[in-house]
Chain A
Amino acid sequence: MSILRADGSLLERDCPLIDDEAPRPDGPHAISLARWQAETGAPAPHAITVSNDVDVQAVDMPWNDLAEIWLDFPSFVEGQAYSQARLLRSRLGYDGMLLARGDVMLDQLYYMRRCGMDAFALRSDQSLDACRAALSQFSDAYVSAANQRDGILARRIA
């Protein structure tokens, strides 16, 4: 599985997802949000997974201790994580990596990018080159991106 970054490069790093019951290894790894919340006092992991039914605003944790947050698309039609991403970026001030995983395909990438996701664990049948192109499918947008006052609606007013 390739992990495409917003700049078109590939993310090369080893960061296994550790089961809630399994011991945490020394190197970079990912655990569930629930485990991160439960293990108070333990060092923050490199990454956590957040399922798409979580109200991220109700989670009182130091998000910026995390290098990566993994957002979940169990099926591409389940779009809750678009809202989670926008909230993490624009309201909760998270400035680490937001990684989309699951049923992640070319045609969602542009929207994901606008919502603040900047790494994409692509479904295995996706063409890398086509996905790179898809990130900039539209040269402009009405609504601003998650962190950036750059939408047409805002620019016309400014």
Chain B
Amino acid sequence: MYQYDQYDQTIVDERVAQFRDQTRRYLAGELGEDEFRPLRLQNGLYIQRFAPMLRVAVPYGLLSAEQLRKLAHIADTYDKGYGHFTTRQNIQYNWPKLETVPDILEELSSVQMHAIQTSGNCIRNTTSDHLAGVAADELEDPRPYCEIIRQWSTLHPEFAYLPRKFKIAVSAAPQDRAATRVHDIGLHLIENDAGERGFKVFVGGGLGRTPVIGPVIREFLPKQHLLSYLDAILRVYNQLGRRDNKYKARIKILVRETGVERFAELVEAEWDHLRDGELTLPDSELRRFEAYFEPPAYNASASDSADTERRAANDPKFAAWMTHNVADHKVAGYRAVFVSLKAPGEAPGDATGEQMRCVADLADAHSFGELRVTHDQNLLLADVPHADLPTVFDALAAQQLATPNIGSISDMICCPGLDFCSLANAGSIGVANELNAVFDDLDEQYNLGELKLKMSGCMNGCGHHSVGHIGILGVDKKGEEWYQLTLGGASTQDAALGDRLGASVSRADVAGTVRKLVDVYVREREGDERFLDTYRRIGMQPFRDEVYA
């Protein structure tokens, strides 16, 4: 993985010193609430319902075991012993004390981490494919480009006060596991007819109250021009994006109001000036970044282990975990292991300090000392020898981290909701628990296959409800929590926004309504269709008839 050089470390250290002084001035009354707000936000610090919330950046979701141990230490020392992994592959702490945040940032800098630009109207953490580097279908590892974007965007002087937040995602595989089409900029690493590598550039996707699937503005951008082209997009947005209404300030609104073609022309005109300038990335520099992401020292003679197969044949629990939580690897004898943070009864994405240390130890012993955060709010040990799977399973199971439910209905995405978030209209964690109670039979979950259920406590859409196969959105009706359901959303290469089922349902009826939707699917499905496929084939009406009969 990337290792800071002296430049990177200096910037992060100086950022900590800067925020320490800003916090001191705020606490001393020298800095007003309004002035402190954008400063703390650009360091990941929100003021939430009960306490500040600190969001720490996990660049493109990649962590070392040492970094995860530090996150565990912070959870135990400065918070209530746990953290919450997010859909942007970051981690949030819900209970830090404001005056200790500079100390937390200093702890982070000691392991090459930070909270820079994890909030505020600036360029946020760049996200990517959690299977980067190990997926058989990828063209090449996208993470070197993510790191290049991280550095370019960090403290970029021109783009620190944008109209609104700005999110970039990079994918290098035909199977889009990074939800790139619902980002402000989505980058697909592709090869053109001439065999050159570059990016297909999507701009203006997004979730929130106006969900949009991002359109293409450039079919092929040679990779050496990545940064100058990003500069051009951001410069057009910074000058023309709306600032009169925060709900119309995202770039998706600018693209829509300008028209995709015209917007693309504006970017190209700006890029004409910038291309071949100092942001051009020579091959030597690309190779330098790529070298940080070289494959680990796999055992060339590794192969699948007969002992592991025997355990699977004799232990149904292990076999179920193998089937659902273990993914193929491009290297023979290795697997990628999902660490489920979706145990029934637990808030989706939460992990205790003890659980984090367990995963860190497993990473050191069985996965070359690294792990990833997935945008589905799980963790991933990417490079586990097949022979080690029983050991890894036993250790995870002892920490309630081996619920065999990856990709199933109980592997739901869920925001913190009304329990923690000051924006939320409705609870989401409680609803998640009720859904888990309804779908507590793992065999039934397996029978339902891949079913992406995503839930947000308000229309800001942190739980990605708009792109859930089943989406659930909490709304406020005269002080009561109600829920709007959508069907047919997807964030993958066939990205689509979900369609509204109909009138919202009360809190008490959410789980029962999802039950009915699933019953329709089971009744109507053909062959091995997923819920999404069946919905696309038969449409909304059968579902409406069942729910509103």
Which A residues are closer than 8 A to B by beta carbons? 55, 76-80, 82-84, 86, 91, 105, 107-108, 110-115, 127, 137-145, 149, 151-154, 156-157
Residue of A nearest to B269 (CB): A57
Residue of B nearest to A150 (CB): B278
Residue of A nearest to B288 (CB): A156
Report if B282 contacts A (CB, 8 A). Answer: yes
Instruction: Return chain A residues, CB-CB under 8 Å to B7.
Output: 140, 142, 152, 156
Given A79-B238, A80-B238; A142-B279 close (CB under 8 Å): no
A82 lies within 8 A of B157 (CB): yes
Known pairs A77-B121, A127-B30. 19 more at Cβ < 8 A? A77-B161, A77-B243, A78-B161, A79-B159, A82-B157, A83-B238, A86-B235, A107-B35, A111-B155, A111-B157, A111-B158, A113-B157, A140-B11, A141-B155, A141-B157, A142-B155, A153-B227, A154-B278, A154-B279
Minimum Cβ distance to chain B for residue A109 (Å): 11
Q: Bound state CA distance, A156 and B157, in angstroms?
A: 19
Instruction: Return chain B residues, CB-CB under 8 Å to A113.
Output: 157
A76 lies within 8 A of B158 (CB): no
The one of B154, B160, B285 in contact with A79, judged by C-beta atoms closer than 8 angstroms, is B160
Question: What are 7 A-B contacts defined by CB distance under 8 Å?
Answer: A78-B161, A82-B159, A138-B18, A140-B7, A141-B155, A143-B155, A143-B158
Minimum Cβ distance to chain A for residue B3 (Å): 14
Minimum Cβ distance to chain B for residue A158 (Å): 9
Instruction: Return chain A residues, CB-CB under 8 Å to B35.
Output: 76, 105, 107
B161 lies within 8 A of A153 (CB): no
Residue of A nearest to B285 (CB): A157
Minimum Cβ distance to chain B for residue A122 (Å): 13
* Closest 10 A/B residue pairs (Cβ): A79-B161, A114-B157, A111-B157, A154-B278, A82-B158, A152-B7, A142-B151, A83-B238, A138-B14, A115-B157
B38 lies within 8 A of A76 (CB): yes
Kindly identify, within residues 7 to 40 of chain B, every residue whose CB is under 8 Å from any CB belonging to chain A: 7, 10-11, 14-15, 18, 22, 30, 35, 38-39
Given A153-B151, A157-B282; A79-B18 close (CB under 8 Å): no
Instruction: Return chain A residues, CB-CB under 8 Å to B281.
Output: 157
Report if B247 contacts A (CB, 8 A). Answer: no
Report if B477 contacts A (CB, 8 A). Answer: no
The bracket for how many chain B residues form the interface is 35 or more
Q: Bound state CA distance, A142 and B161, in angstroms?
A: 17
**Residue in B10, B30, B161 with the greatest tally of chain A CB atoms within 10 Å:** B161
Which B residues are closer than 8 A to A by beta carbons? 7, 10-11, 14-15, 18, 22, 30, 35, 38-39, 121, 151-152, 154-162, 227, 235, 238-239, 243, 273, 278-279, 281-282, 284-285, 288
A55 lies within 8 A of B278 (CB): no
Q: Bound state CA distance, A124 and B156, in angstroms?
A: 27
Q: Bound state CA distance, A112 and B158, in angstroms?
A: 8
Minimum Cβ distance to chain A for residue B433 (Å): 39
A143 lies within 8 A of B238 (CB): no
Instruction: Return chain B residues, CB-CB under 8 Å to A82.
Output: 157-161, 238
Q: Bound state CA distance, A149 and B10, in angstroms?
A: 19
Q: How many A-B contacts if CB must be within 8 Å? A: 96
Instruction: Return chain B residues, CB-CB under 8 Å to A83.
Output: 158, 235, 238-239
Instruction: Return chain B residues, CB-CB under 8 Å to A154.
Output: 278-279
Instruction: Return chain B residues, CB-CB under 8 Å to A142.
Output: 7, 11, 151-152, 154-156
Q: Bound state CA distance, A82 and B122, in angstroms?
A: 13
B155 lies within 8 A of A107 (CB): no
Q: Bound state CA distance, A149 and B161, in angstroms?
A: 23
The one of B152, B156, B161, B273 in contact with A91, judged by C-beta atoms closer than 8 angstroms, is B273
Instruction: Return chain A residues, CB-CB under 8 Å to B273.
Output: 91
Minimum Cβ distance to chain A for residue B165 (Å): 12
Given A142-B152, A153-B227; A78-B243 close (CB under 8 Å): yes
Given A139-B14, A153-B152; A111-B160 close (CB under 8 Å): yes
A137 lies within 8 A of B239 (CB): no
Minimum Cβ distance to chain B for residue A119 (Å): 16
A152 lies within 8 A of B151 (CB): yes
The one of A80, A143, A152 in contact with B157, judged by C-beta atoms closer than 8 angstroms, is A143
Q: Bound state CA distance, A83 and B157, in angstroms?
A: 9
The one of B151, B155, B161, B284 in contact with A138, judged by C-beta atoms closer than 8 angstroms, is B155
Residue of B nearest to A145 (CB): B157
B278 lies within 8 A of A149 (CB): yes
Q: Bound state CA distance, A115 and B436, in angstroms?
A: 52
A79 lies within 8 A of B162 (CB): yes
Instruction: Return chain B residues, CB-CB under 8 Å to A107.
Output: 22, 35, 39
Residue of A nearest to B279 (CB): A153
B239 lies within 8 A of A80 (CB): yes
B11 lies within 8 A of A138 (CB): yes
B158 lies within 8 A of A137 (CB): no
The one of B152, B239, B282, B288 in contact with A143, judged by C-beta atoms closer than 8 angstroms, is B152
Q: Bound state CA distance, A145 and B39, in angstroms?
A: 22
Instruction: Return chain B residues, CB-CB under 8 Å to A151.
Output: 278
Instruction: Return chain B residues, CB-CB under 8 Å to A105.
Output: 35
Instruction: Return chain B residues, CB-CB under 8 Å to A145.
Output: 157
Q: Bound state CA distance, A105 and B35, in angstroms?
A: 9
Q: Bound state CA distance, A72 and B128, in angstroms?
A: 37
Instruction: Return chain A residues, CB-CB under 8 Å to B38.
Output: 76-77
Q: Bound state CA distance, A108 and B91, in angstroms?
A: 27
Residue of B nearest to A110 (CB): B157
Instruction: Return chain A residues, CB-CB under 8 Å to B152.
Output: 142-143, 153
**Residue in B151, B158, B285 with the greatest tally of chain A CB atoms within 10 Å:** B158
Instruction: Return chain A residues, CB-CB under 8 Å to B285.
Output: 156-157
A76 lies within 8 A of B235 (CB): no
Minimum Cβ distance to chain A for residue B347 (Å): 33
Residue of B nearest to A85 (CB): B158
The one of B227, B239, B288 in contact with A55, judged by C-beta atoms closer than 8 angstroms, is B239
Residue of A nearest to B150 (CB): A142
Q: Bound state CA distance, A156 and B7, in angstroms?
A: 10
